[in-house]
Amino acid sequence: MDFRLGIPLLNLVATFRQRREWPDPILRVGVMCSPALGDTLLFSGALQDVRQHFPDVELIHFCMPQNLAAAELIPGADRRVVLELTKVGQTIRKMRAERLDLLLDFTSWQRLTAFYSMMAGARFTVGFKTAGQYRSRGYDVAIEHRDERHEVENFRGLLRGVGIGAGAAPRVFVPPGETTISAAEQDVVAFHLWASGARSWLREWPEERWVELARRIGRSGTLFLITGAPSDMERTVPFVRKMEQAGLRAAAFVGTDGFKGLARMLERARVLVSVNTGVMHLGAILGTPTVSINGPNRNGRWGPVGPRALGVESPGEGCGYLHLGFNFDGQATDCMERITVEMVEAAVAEVTAKRDQRVTSGAGVE
């Protein structure tokens, strides 16, 4: 519906809209990014740049229930306003109530978010012009979204396109709190096996390779924590049994308070090994030694961003093709199978060698 109905409706409404001049003064600024957790974490650097450029404005972060857990870890905004994108009237009313001078829309392909930006009542709007998405006509300024650069650089490009300095690294802040891990656990390794979104199985690594990797990188007493959302438990629990049958200590991990509890656990982990997803980006930004198993993703577009993070890419031709997260048609389906245990093991050895150089989440990552 977003594509087939959204494109003609959005462009019809945009036909009657006139481009406006940059507002002065700017007292209230709104920002919005994709509801994906990983995108939201990567957006955290751009949010810091906006805060630095507009130190005295009221800065409102529009987020969605899907990415609220990540948004709560991102410093910079004065307030968060939660939007349910399927509730059109309610969303428009909430956005218009903020009486924005400037709205920066960091979503890259959704026609619905472009429509909301146009209807938000802001005095000036900025968003992405993304090839093949036909969503940019309603913005006062549209900045090119490019598939050959990392999403962090796309965010920076949007800001630079309107004269806002950009370069802050993604950052999260984890408030103190309880963790479900016993203080007696001396060696914790986190595995995140499950992808989400369109055709998620094409971004997952065979389970037997995870078990073999655990055998190789485990130490005496290592506890392997298998992370996942509550909806992943149907697969996580049987996998934990596989690990135990292989003589390994393993347990399912679901944070007691969303991403906050997960982040506290990752701060203690010797290493995080993950498919390319939001959990991976969280670990990398925290400074946890992190290995991303990429497959259809490539480092230069969606790889981990952090001081102790590596992305393992598929060998051979035809992989690393994902741009917006859903362009699977006609592409290779064996990208994850091409990645060997030896490749991931070598990456683990490299990132864990840097463990003594870890930074704290409150300090950010440059």
Predicted local distance difference test score (pLDDT) of residue 198: 82
Task: Name the region of 197 (left: φ>0; alpha: ψ -120 to 50; beta: rest).
Answer: left
Q: Are residues 208 and 328 in the same domain?
A: yes
Helix, coil or strand: residue 32: strand
DSSP letter (8 states) at residue 129: E
Q: Is residue 120 part of a domain?
A: yes
At 270, the amino acid letter reads R
Q: Is residue 174 part of a domain?
A: no
Q: Are residues 147 and 235 in the same domain?
A: no
Query: What pTM value is reported for the model?
Result: 0.93
- Asked whether 120 and 47 are in contact (CB, 8 A), the reply is no
Q: Are residues 350 and 204 in the same domain?
A: yes
Q: Are residues 200 and 340 in the same domain?
A: yes
Q: Is residue 73 part of a domain?
A: yes
For the domain that residue 206 is a member of, what is the CATH number? 3.40.50.2000
Predicted local distance difference test score (pLDDT) of residue 361: 37
- pLDDT tens track for 69-105: 999 999 999 999 999 999 999 999 999 999 999 999 9
Q: Is residue 168 part of a domain?
A: no
Helix, coil or strand: residue 136: coil
Q: Are residues 210 and 347 in the same domain?
A: yes
Helix, coil or strand: residue 103: strand
At 118, the amino acid letter reads M
Domain ranges, residue 213: 188-355
For the chain, what percent of residues have pLDDT higher than 70?
Answer: 96
- Asked whether 305 and 281 are in contact (CB, 8 A), the reply is yes
Q: Is residue 167 part of a domain?
A: no
What's the average pLDDT block by block, 10 residues per block, for the chain (366 residues)?
80 84 96 96 98 98 95 96 95 98 96 95 97 93 96 98 97 86 88 91 97 97 94 94 97 85 94 97 98 96 96 96 90 96 98 66 36
Count Cβ atoms within 10 A of the Cβ of residue 40 and give its class: 0-12 exposed, 13-18 middle, 19 or more buried.
buried
Residue with token string 């506890």: 223
Q: Are residues 251 and 314 in the same domain?
A: yes
Predicted local distance difference test score (pLDDT) of residue 281: 98
Q: Are residues 115 and 264 in the same domain?
A: no
Q: Is residue 177 part of a domain?
A: no
- Asked whether 138 and 114 are in contact (CB, 8 A), the reply is yes
Helix (H) or strand (E) segment spanning residue 359: none
Q: Is residue 286 part of a domain?
A: yes
CA 6 to chain centre: 24
| Token output for 37 | 């957790």
- Per-residue CA distances from 237 to 5, 64, 249, 251 (Å): 41, 29, 13, 8
Structural domain count of the chain = 2
Q: Are residues 255 and 344 in the same domain?
A: yes
Q: Are residues 222 and 299 in the same domain?
A: yes
Q: Are residues 103 and 210 in the same domain?
A: no
Predicted local distance difference test score (pLDDT) of residue 364: 39
Predicted local distance difference test score (pLDDT) of residue 359: 42
Q: Is residue 1 part of a domain?
A: no
Helix, coil or strand: residue 101: coil
For the chain, what percent of residues have pLDDT higher than 90?
Answer: 83
Q: Could you tell me which of 67, 52, 46 has the C-alpha nearest to residue 169?
A: 46
The upper half-sphere exposure of residue 171, i.e. CA atoms within 13 Å in the direction of its Cβ, equals 19
What does 142-203 look like in DSSP terms, one character per residue? EEEE-TTS-HHHHHHHHHHTTT----PPP---------SS-TT---EEEEE----STTGGGG
Q: Are residues 271 and 318 in the same domain?
A: yes
Q: Are residues 212 and 349 in the same domain?
A: yes
Predicted local distance difference test score (pLDDT) of residue 321: 95
Predicted local distance difference test score (pLDDT) of residue 226: 97
Predicted local distance difference test score (pLDDT) of residue 357: 54
Dihedral pair phi/psi, residue 344, rounded to 5°: -70, -40
